[in-house]
Amino acid sequence: MDDNNFKKYLSGKRRIVIKIGSQVLLDKNGKPSAGAFKKICEFSFSLIKQKKEVILVSSGAIAAGKDLLKINSDTDSGFTMPQKQAFAACGQAVLMRNYNACFKKYGIKTAQILLTKEDISIRKRFTNARNTIFELLNREVVPVINENDTVSYEEIKFSDNDHLSALVLNLVCADLLIILSNVNGVYDKNPNVFKGAKRIQIIDDIKDYIKNFKETSKSRHGTGGMKSKLYAAFIASSAGVDTIIASGKDKKSLNSLISGNLTGTLIASSQDKINKKKHWLLFGMEKAGEIVVDDGAITAITACNKSLLASGVIKIKGDFKKGDGVFIVNGKGAVFSKGVSNLDSNDIKKIKGLSSGEIKAKFGKEGISALVVHKDKMVASI
């Protein structure tokens, strides 16, 4: 893609999620940099002037909190979860103070949104979060999103903010993800080690590329390396959204991007994108249990696009309610589909292996439905 084509391409994007890595916001001593916030806000405002809506997903809270509390450490290792959560609580206020101050110069208001994985995985909470963000965008407010580290624990944490930013794409119906890091894109080898490393301008097949990618390093203050950014791009690609990985520390690179020049690496979206509801089922929904099915059910689901009926169920794993997320697995435990259960796990146990006629004879016409997972609430696992 040449610069003329990229400029036209960028002009067609209307709602953009920008993920800002910890290293982008910190100076060489690991302290929040006023200049770094200024660069990010200037970049965002330049997009807004082009009639685009901008949503920020910002890292850096834990590092900012440690700086505020005068704790000298290059990494998060050695700290307990309550300590990290306390650092995040302090640091989140620092982040918002800096964003508010910088955006205020452009007459733009900001809003803080803290999410846990449950806010994405539980459909009602997902919808509530989406409606709130849409209202903010309608009022020309820039949402600044981060994980709610203060209340998050192991089971409800995102793996990192790269992962969060990819899931936010579906939440806000965005059409472009820009991941700003301390490196200007994806390279064929580690540029910090090899002088001859070459930047890859475009990755057309992220699913194939990520299979052979080997992680070489992670940032001192962040939780994810390049592989996590590529996985975020893979999630985005599945939703039909392109990703740009670029340097957030290099002002020239940011200005070039705004001007319509492709800096960094563009990761193209998949031609076989899935709809937003099925994307949520695949990447956003949390598993509450598993349903083990027979070969006949596997064929009906995968080859014939049929719903899962009780007759094909062999076993239930876990306790879950109607409306909870379930993984559908074969006899060896391999996941081949994900969906929303139409029944409580206890009811499925009562009817597993039974035909519709047998269920009616046993429980009556107004008894338990034979439908376990509807085909419209199910998606093939990638």
- pLDDT recorded at residue 74: 63
Contacts of 302 (CB under 8 A, 6+ apart): 336, 337, 380
Residue 35: strand, helix, or coil: helix
> What is the fold, at CATH topology level, of the domain defined by 3-278?
Carbamate kinase (3.40.1160)
Where are the domains positioned within the chain? Answer: 3-278, 287-380
- pLDDT recorded at residue 73: 67
Q: Where are the beta strands (DSSP E) in the chain?
A: 15-20, 53-58, 109-115, 141-147, 176-181, 186-187, 199-200, 202-203, 242-247, 265-267, 289-293, 308-309, 313-317, 325-329, 335-340, 371-373, 378-380
CATH class of the domain comprising 287-380: mainly beta
| DSSP output for 199-268 | EE-EES-HHHHHHT-----B-SS-S-BHHHHHHHHHHHHHTT-EEEEEESS-HHHHHHHHTT---SEEEP
- pLDDT recorded at residue 328: 97
From residue 335, alpha-carbon distances to 20, 252, 341, 349, 353 in Å are 33, 46, 15, 20, 20
Q: Write out the chain's pLDDT in tens, 382 residues.
A: 665 688 888 999 999 999 999 999 998 888 899 999 999 999 999 999 999 999 999 999 989 999 999 987 666 667 888 888 899 899 999 999 999 999 999 999 999 999 988 888 888 899 999 999 999 999 999 999 998 877 665 544 565 788 889 999 999 999 999 999 988 999 988 887 888 889 999 999 998 898 878 755 544 444 457 888 999 999 999 989 999 999 999 999 999 999 988 889 999 998 777 888 889 898 888 899 999 999 999 999 999 999 999 999 999 999 999 999 999 999 999 999 999 999 999 999 999 999 999 999 999 878 899 999 999 999 998 7
Output the pTM of the full model. 0.85
- pLDDT recorded at residue 222: 44
- pLDDT recorded at residue 220: 46
- pLDDT recorded at residue 190: 80
Residues in the chain: 382
